[in-house]
Amino acid sequence: MASIKQFQITFDCADPERVARFWCEVLGYVVPPPPEGFATWDAYDRSQPPERQGSAFVCQDPSGVGPRMYFQRVPEGKVVKNRVHLDVRAGTGLVGEERVAALEAEGARLVALGAVRVRLLPADDENESCLCMQDVEGNEFCLD
């Protein structure tokens, strides 16, 4: 049996388009073209039954290398810490103060987009520093 190499990451959220557009900015992802027969995603959305309008949104890596990201509206809000989170590789190859400076600079850019800076986890004997953050709906992620 062949192993599966492709996957998508699915986010439960209240406002799929808002969260998807945030992650497009974070990762350099893009919104794919609308379905055939529609000039825009808004036109496609308006063609859906009222209860499905605004219920999902997608973004993807323009190079086709990274996973597709799917955002779906759910009725319940976020209650507890994520069991899975994204690590955004903002400090790869950097150590010490140079790494912290890169993480803080990227963190400031993301705060301007609506993210929340939670805390810096300083380097220890096993791990380099990372910056814990939350996206526009409170989903945890790390800059590492």
Tell me the residue type at 138: G
Tell me the residue type at 111: V
Q: Which pLDDT belongs to residue 3?
A: 78
> Mean pLDDT for each consecutive 10-residue tract of the chain (144 residues)?
82 96 97 95 94 95 96 90 89 94 97 97 92 96 96
CB 107 within 8 A of CB 51: no
Q: Are residues 29 and 62 located together in one domain of the fold?
A: yes
Q: Which pLDDT belongs to residue 113?
A: 97
Cα first-last separation, the chain: 35
Q: Which pLDDT belongs to residue 84?
A: 86
Q: Are residues 16 and 42 located together in one domain of the fold?
A: yes
Q: Are residues 39 and 95 located together in one domain of the fold?
A: no
Domain termination residue (choose one: 18, 48, 73):
73
106's tokens: 């990227």
- Residue 101: inside a domain, yes or no? yes
Q: Are residues 90 and 134 located together in one domain of the fold?
A: yes
Bridge partner list, 91: none
Bridge partner list, 13: 73
- Residue 2: inside a domain, yes or no? no
Q: Are residues 103 and 50 located together in one domain of the fold?
A: no
- Residue 3: inside a domain, yes or no? no
Q: Which pLDDT belongs to residue 5?
A: 76
Q: In whole angstroms, what is the distance from residue 109 CA to residue 111 CA?
A: 6
- Residue 137: inside a domain, yes or no? yes
Domain termination residue (choose one: 26, 41, 73):
73
Q: Which pLDDT belongs to residue 83?
A: 82
Q: In whole angstroms, what is the distance from residue 42 CA to residue 49 CA?
A: 13
- pTM here is 0.90
- Residue 81: inside a domain, yes or no? no
Q: How many domains is the chain built from? A: 2
Helix, coil or strand: residue 134: strand
Q: Are residues 106 and 64 located together in one domain of the fold?
A: no
Which residue range(s) make up the domain with 19?
8-73
- Residue 46: inside a domain, yes or no? yes
Helix, coil or strand: residue 85: coil
Q: Are residues 53 and 95 located together in one domain of the fold?
A: no
Nearest 10 degrees: Cα torsion 86, 89, 94, 98 = -80
Neighbours of 62 (CB within 10 A): 12
